[in-house]
Amino acid sequence: MSERAAGRKQIFLATDLDGTLLRSVRCRRPQDIIVDMSAGRACAFLPAKLAAGLPALRAQVRIAAVTSRSVEQYLRITWPPGCEPEIAVTTNGANLLRGRSLDADWREASRAFTAPWLPLLEEVTAQLRRERGVHTCRVCDEAFAVAVCVNPQDAARVLHNTEAGPLTAFVSGRKVYFLPPELNKGTALRRLEALPEMQETDLTVAAGDAALDLPMLAGADAAVTVPALAADLAGGPRVFTAPSPADLPELVLEAVYRLSESGLPG
């Protein structure tokens, strides 16, 4: 890795969105800015500190959003001026957006490891439709299956009852995800690091708050996360842990600036 003349490190930040860079309704604070509406309701909020700090951060750091949102759900976000990540990987790694335009090469490469699983994903979706407690279910962007359940208890039961074969399954709150084995945020991170524009970066920082983020967090030089995931990263990257999930967005900003100045030991 190259050293900058002034000792400042060039950072690549790969960050989850919901629950990480954006706060949910449950964690919302008074000054947070509404950035996403769904069915007429505000559902995602950008902290005021990030709205003020992201434009300057973007001038120093390569930023990629890495989210399980579909392309449509990502494009629903209304970013304040200067805050939108330059690159967004959606659908847990299946799609890449540069600004608001899809990268066709990335999508074709993704299809090589998602298309063979579509028949099983459709079977899983059919099973989910028969399960009590499932509010909605679908195959997202022809890449993975997701069920939104009435409550987290229903989600845990649905996961236990669904025969998904070798698909990777996760529960996140009321949602249950079933993904092709290679479709994960760790794979997405490696693909992002291989992009030409990322070759001059010195350190990779990943931020996330859920089990879906663990492959990405484990593959980075440093991870910014919540207490519930910190133990899973022991012995891996340097870990910055937020006091609570609601504090994670501000910690992402703080950790990146600290690492930009100091780098990693050794």
Task: Provide the CA 1 distance to its chain's centre, in angstroms.
Answer: 25
pLDDT digits (tens, 9 = 90+) for 149-197: 999 999 999 999 999 999 999 999 999 999 999 999 999 999 999 999 8
Write the DSSP string, 143-191: TEEEEEESSHHHHHHHHHH---TT-EEEEETTEEEEE-TT-SHHHHHHH
In single-letter form, the type of residue at position 58 comes to R
Distances (CA, A) of 211 to 5, 45, 115: 38, 21, 24
For strands 95-98 and 134-140, give the pairing.
unpaired
CB 28 within 8 Å of CB 22: no
CA atoms within 13 A on the CB side of 243: 2
What pTM was estimated for this model as a whole? Answer: 0.93
Q: State both tokens at 20.
A: 């990480």
Residue 230: what pLDDT?
94
Q: State both tokens at 159.
A: 């996961």
- Report residue 260's pLDDT band, with 50, 70 and 90 as the boundaries: confident
Write the DSSP string, 195-220: SGGGTT--EEEEE--SGGGHHHHHTS
User: Of 111 and 100, which is predicted with more confidence?
Assistant: 111
pLDDT surpasses 70 at 131 = yes
Backbone phi, psi, residue 239, to 5° = -115, 130
- Report residue 206's pLDDT band, with 50, 70 and 90 as the boundaries: very high
Residue 265: what pLDDT?
62
Q: What is the mean pLDDT of residues 77-83?
A: 96
Residue 228: what pLDDT?
94
Residue 3: what pLDDT?
42
pLDDT digits (tens, 9 = 90+) for 7-44: 567 899 999 999 999 999 999 999 999 999 998 999 99
CA–CA dist 120, 130 (Å, integer): 16
Distances (CA, A) of 170 to 98, 126, 148: 28, 18, 12
Q: What is the mean pLDDT of residues 238-247?
A: 96
- Report residue 5's pLDDT band, with 50, 70 and 90 as the boundaries: very low
Strand partners, 200: none
Average pLDDT in the chain: 93
Least-confidence region, from 118-122, 152-156, 232-236: 232-236
CB 74 within 8 Å of CB 97: yes
In single-letter form, the type of residue at position 168 comes to T
Tokens 């000792």, residue located: 7
Backbone phi, psi, residue 32, to 5° = -65, 150
pLDDT surpasses 50 at 266 = no
- Report residue 214's pLDDT band, with 50, 70 and 90 as the boundaries: very high
Residue 2: what pLDDT?
36
Which contacts of 149-152 are long-range, i.e. CB under 8 A and separated by 24 or more positions? 149/174, 149/175, 149/176, 150/174
